[in-house]
Structure 1
Amino acid sequence: MDVPSIVVHPPALDGSRRVTAGDETLGVASHLDDVVEALRLADLEWIDPETSDLVEWQGGGPEDWPGLSEHHEQ
């Protein structure tokens, strides 16, 4: 089974992060649990987003969910 490249994109101003697999948007996540759910809904639940080499985290890792107030402080 070919698995597309999964990307958790950098946080938006509200702290949410877009999750994509190849050219397809799997969802928008506000927390790591949302990433897990997006993978589950795409039948990719066997991928651990925290440890898998199949997941590329851009703009911070699984623990980085800045909110709007953190963007203003930077």
Structure 2
Amino acid sequence: MAIPIIVYPPDEGGARHVRADGTILGLAYSVRDIAALLQTAGLQDFNEMDVVRTEMIEWRGGGPEVWTR
């Protein structure tokens, strides 16, 4: 499944909004949280390494290592 996934810049508390296919999936505080959100959205096989390596994710405001403003 190739859906557009956007991870927005961290907010003041370190949370990043995650959007897939135009729908906000929720807030993530880590790569593990992003994997869990994507699994809930139907990408059951996605794990933390997939989140870091996939080109399906557009990282805004920094990549998977950025969790502070």
Same fold (TM over 0.5): yes
**Alignment correspondent of 1:33:** 32
Partner of 2:58: 56
Q: Please give the TM-score of this superposition, normalised by the length of structure 1.
A: 0.79
TM-score, normalized by length of structure 2? Answer: 0.84
- Count of residue correspondences: 66
The amino acid that maps onto 1:23 is G
Instruction: Please state how far the C-alpha of 1:45 moved relative to its aligned partner.
Output: 3.2
Give 1 or 2 for the bigger CA radius of gyration. Answer: 1
1:49 is paired with a residue whose SS is: helix
Structure 1 residue runs of 5 or longer lacking an equivalent are none
Match of 1:7 in 2: 6
Across the aligned residues of Structure 1 and Structure 2, the Cα RMSD in angstroms comes to: 1.4
Q: CA deviation at 1:27?
A: 1.2
